[in-house]
Amino acid sequence: MESISPTARTRVRRRANRAAYDSATLHAIVDEALLCHLGVVVDGMPRVLPTLHVRLGSQIYVHGAPRNGTFDALRTGAPVCLTISLVDGLVLARSAMHHSMNYRSVMVYGTAREVTDVVEKRRALEAMVEHVMPGRLAEVRAPDESEIHATAVFALPISEASAKVRQGPPVDAARDLALPAWAGVVPLRLTAGRPQEASGDEAGTAAPSAALRRYMALHGTPEGAESGMDVGAVAEGRRPTAD
């Protein structure tokens, strides 16, 4: 199993038993998350930018408007700290101070590289669409040259990074085990609710796409139909109806 050697910045000291430095764990967390937070110093002040990302190989790609303070700082070689967090459950203990969360997180340090090669840039942008919804790229118009030119893309290598993971039940002190308070874990996960159709000349004429059907089958929940749309119909490819 390939691992990344921890550095002074990435070595986990608090609860070191929760640390992971292997690429499999790091990549899995990065791939599951839809959002990352990009931290950089801009004009002497810290700035944290939430943004969509995608991993290709051992690099994380982000994109945005070419002219903004964060990207201007990246172009100067400013150090970057990128973080990702996934919350898997609420850990409810018998004492207030022992409450926690089950989570998976990644922290990456480094210097971002602006992507200027058109082929690499297009590959990264198209991969971001696939990251949001696998199979979607084949169903929509691909980015044209002007759109690619008008978008900045940066790559950050996953070469100085660590993960931290907590899983399991609450850890109560022995003196609290007899308390009558309920203790345990409330699992949490990201689910898809009612798909909301866009307006437009062709609105209402297209059936849910194959990508959307697959996504709803994997991530949809019956509760998404509470506002009137038949989410089951979306998953099956039938035209959804509203009450």
Domain ranges in the chain are 16-166, 191-236
Q: How far is residue 124's CA from residue 118's CA, in Å, rounded to a whole number?
A: 10
189-192 own/partner pairs: CB under 8 Å, 24+ apart? 189/88, 190/34, 190/219, 191/219, 191/220, 191/221, 191/223, 191/224, 192/216, 192/219, 192/220, 192/221, 192/224
pLDDT over 80 (residue 231): no
Domain 16-166 has CATH 1.10.579.10: no
pLDDT over 80 (residue 238): no
pLDDT over 70 (residue 81): yes
pLDDT over 70 (residue 44): yes
Q: Write the pLDDT tens digit of every residue in 134-186.
A: 999 999 999 999 999 999 999 999 999 999 999 999 999 999 999 999 999 99
- Nearest alpha carbon to residue 116 among 126, 128, 124: 124
Give the per-residue pLDDT at 242. 46
Give the per-residue pLDDT at 239. 55
Whole-number mean pLDDT of the chain?
Answer: 90
Output the furthest CA–CA distance in the chain (Å, rounded).
66
Q: How far is residue 105's CA from residue 84's CA, in Å, rounded to a whole number?
A: 5
